[in-house]
């Protein structure tokens, strides 16, 4: 074992004998993956950046320098959309993490039929998002939907109420649907992490008289904290870029009340055929998410160091 | 021997593929999700008469169809011909993606007044108008009489609002349906009322924005006044969804095209169809909307010529009459001036009179270079009134006019 770790592997040694240096051989090995990433990530990104400096539309394109970015900088509407996007992301991710943690804890409990419950939480994640959203559209319908119907029966409202017709209610309704779609996966990740926590820790705490809440707070949470942080980052990126849910429910309306950056980008680039302006918006999204991810990774490193994860 | 047989078969195959390569293939995108039987008859006959031309039909639902045609064209892979909303034509023509329609002077003279304006820009026609609609007010007479009123055409907006109020107060159902969703017919319905109040959007000659007017303010004020008696949450509703409410007896009246009658007659047999009521500054009018067949610019002139020929065949008198009659559309041509072998279906018909009479006082769907932004401008203004946001009516109109100037 030590020999393999401490010396050149037989394959590399063989490559070396044929005259290919170790460095070049390593590059050769990762070249296919690099090429793949170059084609599906780097090239589209570079092309998007290039387009953002043009007025590309249906009829062609001309170089316009920073005009698209200047237009964004001077648009109060765009700042409103950025603010709404971060609010959407933090609220939705926060709810997903809290509900995911509660769900994982319940699914990890030794109760009869646990396997069945684990299967039952999957549908929101497993069924196609479009199908799920169309179901929610019906639930939210003010005249025929269950939500408004129940509210009427409970005396909260005295007639039909169109949930998706008003800016605030439409926004929070979209959050509920996004949380419904995203929570099962978070729960499953947390559940997997919880199952990796040593039983010895719980038994030792139990012997010392620690209660359930104390054990959860001082053992479970710290032990799964790296997973929580990682999941929060991934979920934040997915939620930030979540498109289908908003598009199917409200198309960003009413009056832009549910328009997030990704919806605004789609409307501009694809809906209005302003590819250059849309590309500038996409580049802003990439920059914002990159900065956000860097900050998050710093936090993740600190958390990992604190909890001794390499 | 075996080898020579193989060679002969290969040569025959190559020969046939070479022949088929000589044939002209037309890619036809038909918006609406179906090819109407009346159109299919013409296409079949066209292929029979032109055996070297093959027409490949692709029917695409409205929701995605126009985007598909336009995106294909923008990407350099245009369809040969597409049936789509005339509102897209100016954007396509300004970007050099379609070619002018070759409408003969004889055909020009046959179109209903205003129809060719919906496809005109810069002195050229950019599409062959193929479907035409005008609008009218549908009233559920059972709800009106239950509210203690006589079921008759409201003469003006004041009477219309009073009728909506009576229905709402009697049964609690919506008196009137005003579309407010982020959708094209929100703009269309507003224009029905704006044109019925003497308003305009653009100056037909100069292209100048004329939306900022007292007529527009009065129309928005009417929207505001009627809201308490309308559908709850109008920003979630578009016209086609209102049809379901109307059929369920949950809506007193709303504006729709002639096709609405057939869709509603079973569930609401006691419906009255009347002209859109007029406002204080105008006479009853309607928006004149057409869908057209556009011929896309091609590298191969033979394809372009074949596409022009097919478009002309589909929109020729007899073929067009069959489509209008079987589909139940407002007549796009003045068939009474032609020989269609029978008395045209709308002549001496009280129902059709409502839709035909509106043509002379109607206004076109504005042709602009960015039709989706145009829709956005109107929706934002209308939703501003519905959600009581964006300032006063005056502010909303001024903002909409300024925004419109950027997209015209």
* CB-facing half-sphere around the CA of B24: CA atoms within 13 A: 22
Based on the domain organization, do A274 and A139 belong to the same domain?
Answer: yes
- Per CB-CB distance under 8 Å, the chain A contacts of B227 are none
- Per CB-CB distance under 8 Å, the chain A contacts of B384 are 255
By the CB < 8 Å criterion, does A132 face chain B? no
Based on the domain organization, do A111 and A223 belong to the same domain?
Answer: yes
Based on the domain organization, do A282 and A181 belong to the same domain?
Answer: yes
Quick one: tokens of B292? 């057209």
Residue B27's pLDDT is: 95
Antiparallel, parallel or unpaired: β B81-85 and B24-31:
parallel
Gap between the Cα atoms of B231 and B242, Å rounded: 9
Which chain B residue shows the shortest CA-CA distance from A141? B236
Residue A3's pLDDT is: 43
Q: Name the nearest CA neighbour of B224 among B180, B266, B270.
A: B180
By the CB < 8 Å criterion, does A246 face chain B? no
Tell me the shortest Cα–Cα distance from B182 to chain A, in angstroms: 7
| Cβ within 8 Å of residue B194, ≥6 positions away | B200, B201, B215, B216, B219, B363
pLDDT band at B3 (very low <50, low <70, confident <90, very high): low
Which ipTM score applies to this complex? Answer: 0.81
Instruction: Tell me the per-residue pLDDT of B114-166, one tens digit each, with 9 for 90 and over.
Output: 899 999 988 899 999 999 999 999 999 999 999 999 999 999 999 999 999 99
- Which phi and psi angles does B294 have, rounded to 5°? -105, 140
Contact A59 B384 (CB under 8 A): no
Q: Which of B232, B237, B386 sits opposite A159 (nearest CB)?
A: B232
Based on the domain organization, do A216 and A152 belong to the same domain?
Answer: yes
Gap between the Cα atoms of B86 and B119, Å rounded: 6
Residue B281's pLDDT is: 96
Q: Cis (ω within 30 of 0) for the bond into A254?
A: yes
Based on the domain organization, do A37 and A123 belong to the same domain?
Answer: no
Where in the sequence is the domain holding A39, given as residue range(s)? 1-51
pLDDT band at B315 (very low <50, low <70, confident <90, very high): very high
Based on the domain organization, do A33 and A81 belong to the same domain?
Answer: no
Residue A11's pLDDT is: 54
- For residues B175-206, one letter each, b for 16 or more C-beta atoms within 10 angstroms of the residue's C-beta and e for the rest, the string is bbbbbbbbbbbbbbbbbbbbbbbbbbbbeeee
Based on the domain organization, do A130 and A10 belong to the same domain?
Answer: no
Contact B232 A165 (CB under 8 A): yes
pLDDT band at B408 (very low <50, low <70, confident <90, very high): confident
To test the contact with chain B by mutation, choose from A253, A256, A257, A263 the residue with the greatest count of B C-beta atoms within 10 A, namely: A253
Residue A58 belongs to some domain of the structure: no
- Per CB-CB distance under 8 Å, the chain B contacts of A166 are 233, 235, 387
**pLDDT higher than threshold 60 for residue B22:** no
pTM of the model: 0.85
Quick one: tokens of B75? 């990407």
- Per CB-CB distance under 8 Å, the chain A contacts of B93 are none
Tell me the shortest Cα–Cα distance from B73 to chain A, in angstroms: 8
Antiparallel, parallel or unpaired: β B363-364 and B287-296:
parallel
Averaged over B98-108, what is the pLDDT? 94
Quick one: tokens of B113? 């007044």
Residue A304's pLDDT is: 76
- Per CB-CB distance under 8 Å, the chain A contacts of B390 are 255
* CB-facing half-sphere around the CA of B28: CA atoms within 13 A: 26
Q: Same topology for domains B16-133+289-357 and B136-285+368-407, yes or no?
A: yes
Tell me the shortest Cα–Cα distance from B180 to chain A, in angstroms: 9
Domain boundaries, chain B: 16-133+289-357, 136-285+368-407
Q: Which of B97, B236, B379 sits opposite A164 (nearest CB)?
A: B236
Q: Which of A164, A255, A273 sits opposite B383 (nearest CB)?
A: A255
- Per CB-CB distance under 8 Å, the chain A contacts of B92 are 58
Quick one: tokens of A266? 């789609």
Residue A270 belongs to some domain of the structure: yes
Residue A57 belongs to some domain of the structure: no
DSSP A298: H
Based on the domain organization, do A12 and A134 belong to the same domain?
Answer: no
Residue A79's pLDDT is: 95
| Cβ within 8 Å of residue B21, ≥6 positions away | none
Based on the domain organization, do A42 and A95 belong to the same domain?
Answer: no
Residue A59 belongs to some domain of the structure: no
- Which phi and psi angles does B283 have, rounded to 5°? -115, 160
Residue A175 belongs to some domain of the structure: yes
Residue A34's pLDDT is: 92
Residue A9's pLDDT is: 55
Based on the domain organization, do A107 and A157 belong to the same domain?
Answer: yes
Tell me the shortest Cα–Cα distance from B132 to chain A, in angstroms: 25
Residue A112's pLDDT is: 80
Q: Which fold has domain B16-133+289-357?
A: D-Maltodextrin-Binding Protein; domain 2 (3.40.190)
Residue, of B2 and B202, whose pLDDT is higher: B202
Tell me the shortest Cα–Cα distance from A97 to chain B, in angstroms: 31
Q: Mean pLDDT in each 10-residue stretch from start to end of chain A (310 residues)?
A: 47 57 88 92 94 91 95 94 96 96 89 80 88 94 90 88 94 97 94 92 90 91 90 92 94 93 94 93 95 88 72
Tell me the shortest Cα–Cα distance from A261 to chain B, in angstroms: 17
The angle subtended at Cα B395 by Cα B393 and Cα B398, nearest 5°, is 110
Q: Identify the residue whose tokens are 């070297």.
A: B52
- Do residues A235 and A96 touch, judged by C-beta distance below 8 A? yes
Based on the domain organization, do A166 and A39 belong to the same domain?
Answer: no
Which chain A residue shows the shortest CA-CA distance from B93? A59
In chain B, the N- to C-terminal Cα span, in Å, equals 72
Tell me the shortest Cα–Cα distance from B299 to chain A, in angstroms: 16
The CB-based long-range contact list for A169-174 (8 Å cut-off, 24+ gap) reads: A170/A249, A170/A250, A170/A253, A170/A254, A170/A257, A170/A258, A171/A84, A171/A88, A171/A257, A171/A258, A173/A136, A173/A140, A173/A249, A174/A88, A174/A245, A174/A246, A174/A249, A174/A250, A174/A258
Q: Name the nearest CA neighbour of A229 among A299, A276, A169, A285.
A: A299
List residues of B whose CB lies inside 8 A of any A CB. Answer: 67, 70-71, 73-74, 91-92, 94-97, 172, 180-182, 232-237, 245, 250, 370, 372-373, 379-380, 383-384, 386-387, 389-390
- For residues A15-45, one letter each, b for 16 or more C-beta atoms within 10 angstroms of the residue's C-beta and e for the rest, the string is beeeeeeeeeeeeeeeeeeeeeeeeeeeeee
Residue B18's pLDDT is: 44
Q: Left if phi > 0, otherwise alpha if psi is -120 to 50, otherwise beta: which for B37? A: alpha
- Per CB-CB distance under 8 Å, the chain A contacts of B74 are 57-58, 273
Instruction: Tell me the per-residue pLDDT of B317-349, one tens digit each, with 9 for 90 and over.
Output: 899 999 999 999 999 999 999 988 899 999 999
The full 3-state SS of chain B, as one line of letters, equals: CHHHHHHHHHHHHHHHHHHHHHCEEEEEEEECCCCCHHHHHHHHHHHHHCCCEEEEEEEECHHHHHHHHHHHHHCCCCCCEEEEEHHHHHHHHHCCCEECCCCCHHHHHHECCCCHHHHEECCEECCEEEEEECCEEEEEHHHHHHCCCCCCCCCEHHHHHHHHHHHHHHHCCECEECCCCCCHHHHHHHHHHHHCCCCCCECCCCCCECCCCHHHHHHHHHHHHHHHHECCCHHHCCHHHHHHHHHCCCECEEEECCHHHHHHCCCCCCEEEECCCECCCCCCCCEEEEEEEEEECCCCHHHHHHHHHHHHHHCCHHHHHHHHHHHCCCCCECHHHCCCCCCCCCCCCHHHHHHHHCCCCCEECCCCCCHHHHHHHHHHHHHHHHCCCCCCHHHHHHHHHHHHHHHC
Residue, of A106 and B295, whose pLDDT is higher: B295
* CB-facing half-sphere around the CA of A25: CA atoms within 13 A: 15
* CB-facing half-sphere around the CA of B404: CA atoms within 13 A: 25
Gap between the Cα atoms of B297 and B282, Å rounded: 42
Q: Name the nearest CA neighbour of B25 among B51, B4, B53.
A: B53
Gap between the Cα atoms of A233 and A291, Å rounded: 12
Residue A309's pLDDT is: 59
Q: Left if phi > 0, otherwise alpha if psi is -120 to 50, otherwise beta: which for B132? A: beta
Averaged over B294-298, what is the pLDDT? 95
- Do residues A121 and A103 touch, judged by C-beta distance below 8 A? yes
Q: Name the nearest CA neighbour of B193 among B215, B162, B170.
A: B215
Q: Which of A58, A159, A251 sits opposite B172 (nearest CB)?
A: A159
The CB-based long-range contact list for A126-130 (8 Å cut-off, 24+ gap) reads: A129/A181, A129/A244, A129/A245, A129/A248, A130/A244, A130/A248
Instruction: Tell me the per-residue pLDDT of B26-53, one tens digit each, with 9 for 90 and over.
Output: 999 999 989 999 999 999 999 999 999 9
- Do residues B112 and B346 touch, judged by C-beta distance below 8 A? no
Based on the domain organization, do A42 and A91 belong to the same domain?
Answer: no
Residue A270's pLDDT is: 87
Give residues 151 to 210 of A whose Cβ lies within 8 Å of B.
159-167
By the CB < 8 Å criterion, does A58 face chain B? yes
Residue A56 belongs to some domain of the structure: no
Residue A18's pLDDT is: 59
Averaged over B284-304, what is the pLDDT? 94
- Residue B35 burial class via C-beta count within 10 angstroms: exposed 0-12, middle 13-18, buried 19 and up: middle
Contact B233 A272 (CB under 8 A): no
Contact A164 B233 (CB under 8 A): yes
Residue B14's pLDDT is: 45
Instruction: Tell me the per-residue pLDDT of B170-196, one tens digit each, with 9 for 90 and over.
Output: 988 999 999 999 988 999 999 999 999
> Which superfamily does CATH assign the domain made up of B136-285+368-407 to?
Periplasmic binding protein-like II (3.40.190.10)
Contact A57 B67 (CB under 8 A): no
State how many domains chain A has. 2
The CB-based long-range contact list for A115-123 (8 Å cut-off, 24+ gap) reads: A118/A191, A121/A183, A121/A184, A121/A187, A121/A188, A122/A184, A123/A184
Averaged over B368-385, what is the pLDDT? 93
**pLDDT higher than threshold 90 for residue B5:** no
Tell me the torsion sign for CA atoms B10, B12, B15, B21: negative
Contact A159 B372 (CB under 8 A): no
Q: What is the CATH number of the domain that holds A131?
A: 1.10.3720.10
Residue A152 belongs to some domain of the structure: yes
- Per CB-CB distance under 8 Å, the chain A contacts of B372 are 271-272
By the CB < 8 Å criterion, does A142 face chain B? yes
Gap between the Cα atoms of B253 and B271, Å rounded: 9
Q: How far is CA B150 from CA B144, B146, B177, B272, B386, in A?
A: 7, 9, 20, 11, 29
Averaged over B231-257, what is the pLDDT? 94
């Amino acid at each position: 074992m030590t020999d393999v770790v401490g010396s050149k592997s037989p394959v590399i040694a063989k490559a070396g004998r044929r005259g290919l240096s170790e460095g070049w051989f390593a590059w050769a090995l990762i070249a296919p993956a690099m090429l793949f990433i170059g084609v599906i990530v780097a090239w589209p990104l570079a092309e998007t950046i290039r387009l953002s400096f043009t007025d590309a539309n249906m009829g062609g394109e001309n170089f316009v320098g920073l005009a698209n970015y200047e237009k964004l900088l001077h648009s109060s509407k765009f700042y409103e959309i950025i603010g709404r996007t971060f609010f959407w992301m933090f609220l939705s991710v926060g709810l997903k993490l809290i509900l995911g943690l509660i769900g994982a804890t319940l699914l990890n409990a030794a109760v009869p039929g646990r396997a069945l419950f684990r299967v039952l939480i999957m549908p929101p994640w497993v069924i196609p998002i479009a199908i799920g959203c169309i179901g929610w559209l019906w639930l939210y319908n003010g005249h025929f939907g269950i939500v408004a119907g129940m509210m009427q029966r409970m005396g909260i409202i005295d007639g039909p109420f169109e949930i998706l017709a008003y800016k605030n209610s439409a926004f929070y309704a979209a959050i509920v649907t996004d949380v419904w779609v995203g929570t099962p996966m978070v729960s499953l990740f947390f559940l997997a992490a919880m199952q990796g926590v040593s039983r010895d820790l719980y038994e030792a705490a139990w012997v010392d008289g620690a209660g359930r809440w104390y054990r959860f707070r001082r053992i479970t949470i710290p032990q799964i904290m790296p997973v929580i942080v990682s999941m929060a980052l991934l979920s934040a990126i997915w939620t930030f870029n979540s498109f289908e849910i908003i598009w199917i429910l409200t198309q960003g309306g009413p009056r832009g009340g549910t328009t997030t950056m990704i919806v605004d980008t789609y409307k501009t680039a694809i809906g209005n055929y302003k590819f250059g302006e849309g590309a500038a918006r996409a580049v802003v999204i990439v920059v914002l998410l990159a900065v956000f991810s860097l900050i998050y990774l710093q936090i993740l490193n600190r958390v990992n160091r604190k909890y001794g994860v390499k | 021997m075996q080898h020579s047989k193989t060679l002969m078969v290969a040569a025959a195959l190559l020969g046939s593929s070479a022949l088929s390569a000589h044939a002209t293939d037309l890619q036809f995108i038909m918006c609406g999700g179906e090819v109407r039987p009346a159109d299919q008859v013409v296409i079949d006959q066209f292929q029979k008469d032109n055996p070297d031309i093959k027409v490949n039909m692709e029917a695409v639902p409205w929701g995605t169809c126009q985007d598909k045609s336009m995106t294909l064209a923008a990407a350099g892979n245009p369809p040969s011909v597409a049936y789509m909303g005339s509102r897209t034509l100016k954007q396509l023509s300004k970007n050099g993606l379609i070619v002018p329609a070759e409408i003969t002077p004889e055909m020009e003279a046959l179109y209903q007044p205003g129809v060719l304006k919906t496809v005109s820009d810069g002195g050229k026609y950019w599409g062959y108008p193929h479907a035409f609609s005008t609008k009218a007010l549908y009233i559920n007479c059972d709800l009106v009489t239950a509210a203690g009123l006589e079921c008759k055409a409201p003469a003006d907006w004041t009477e219309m609002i009073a009728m909506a109020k009576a229905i709402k107060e009697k049964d609690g159902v919506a008196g009137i349906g005003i579309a407010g969703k982020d959708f094209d017919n929100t703009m269309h319905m507003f224009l029905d009322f704006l044109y019925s109040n003497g308003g305009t959007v653009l100056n037909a000659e100069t292209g100048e924005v004329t939306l900022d007017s007292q007529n527009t303010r009065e129309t928005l004020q009417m929207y505001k006044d009627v809201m308490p008696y309308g559908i709850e949450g109008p920003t979630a509703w578009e016209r086609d969804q209102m049809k379901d409410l109307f059929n369920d007896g949950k809506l007193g009246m709303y504006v729709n095209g002639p096709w609405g009658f057939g869709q509603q007659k079973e569930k609401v047999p006691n419906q009255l169809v009347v002209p859109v009521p007029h406002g204080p500054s105008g006479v009853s009018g309607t928006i004149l909307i057409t869908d057209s067949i556009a011929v896309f610019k091609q590298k191969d002139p033979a394809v372009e010529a074949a596409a022009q020929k097919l478009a002309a065949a589909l929109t020729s008198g007899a073929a067009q009459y069959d489509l209008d009659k079987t589909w139940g559309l407002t007549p796009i041509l003045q068939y009474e001036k032609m020989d269609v072998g029978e008395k045209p279906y709308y002549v001496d018909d009280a129902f059709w009179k409502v839709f035909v009479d509106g043509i002379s006082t109607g206004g076109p769907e504005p042709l602009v270079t960015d039709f989706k932004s145009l829709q956005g401008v109107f929706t934002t203004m209308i939703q501003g009134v519905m959600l009581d946001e964006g300032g006063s009516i005056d502010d909303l109109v001024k903002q909409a006019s300024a925004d419109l100037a950027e997209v015209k």
